[in-house]
Structure 1
Amino acid sequence: MQFRREKKVGPTVSLQESLDTGKDDSALTLSDLLQDTACMEETCEKKDDASRLRSLIEALPARERQLVLLRYGLGGQPPLTQSETAQLLGISRSYV
């Protein structure tokens, strides 16, 4: 069974394995060619932004907080249209 799995997947390749040698005899590796998509700085900024947004929403009066949560789907529910939000809150669509 292990043999079949290896045959389907192929050999394991190291990210540090040399692919080519440049003009100045520096080795080009697979890790040099792959882009790092998990940027720690961006992740931290997004978490910080989300935390700040939560604290700002919590500071709103209850009715406005409910409107924002319903309209933009921030309470774990899908966002509602302007008309749906107005109908749920019993207000005119222009107030949403």
Structure 2
Amino acid sequence: MIDVLGTAPDVVGEAVESLCEQERLNREIHRLTAREKWVLEMRFGLPDGSRKTQRDIAKILGISRSYVSRIEKHAITKLGKTLSAGDTPHK
């Protein structure tokens, strides 16, 4: 594969690993509430690459910026636990 692509082995390995992690994240993101998912999508520009600040999201939702921060932190923590638990085989 590396010979065909004409790319350094490290670059190919990193690209494959990144793609695998992205697919894994996409499989696990359904565990979030709709609001948590939406906040993360807006913060990290997941749908279109357009990132929004916590302040922007707070304005859209009509809530405080600190509440957006808590939603974001909770969602990231939840995903982190789910993804780290995914390192072990499911029963």
Deviation at 1:52, TM superposition (A): 1.4
Q: How many residues align?
A: 62
**Larger radius of gyration between Structure 1 and Structure 2:** 1
- What TM-score do the two structures reach when normalised by structure 1? 0.56
Deviation at 1:38, TM superposition (A): 6.6
Higher percent of residues as helix: 2
Indicate the residue corresponding to 1:63 in structure 2: 35
Indicate the residue corresponding to 1:36 in structure 2: 8
Q: Is residue 48 of structure 1 aligned with residue 54 of structure 2?
A: no
CA distance in 1, matches of 2:60, 2:37: 14
- What TM-score do the two structures reach when normalised by structure 2? 0.58
Deviation at 1:95, TM superposition (A): 1.1
Write the deviation string for residues 13-70 of structure 1: whole angstroms up to 9, x where unpaired. Answer: xxxxxxxxxxxxxxxxxxxxxx827732211101011111222222211111111111
Alignment root-mean-square deviation, CA:
2.0
CA distance in 2, matches of 1:60, 1:48: 20
Higher percent of residues as strand: 1
Indicate the residue corresponding to 2:78 in structure 1: none
**Identity over aligned residues, as a percent?**
37
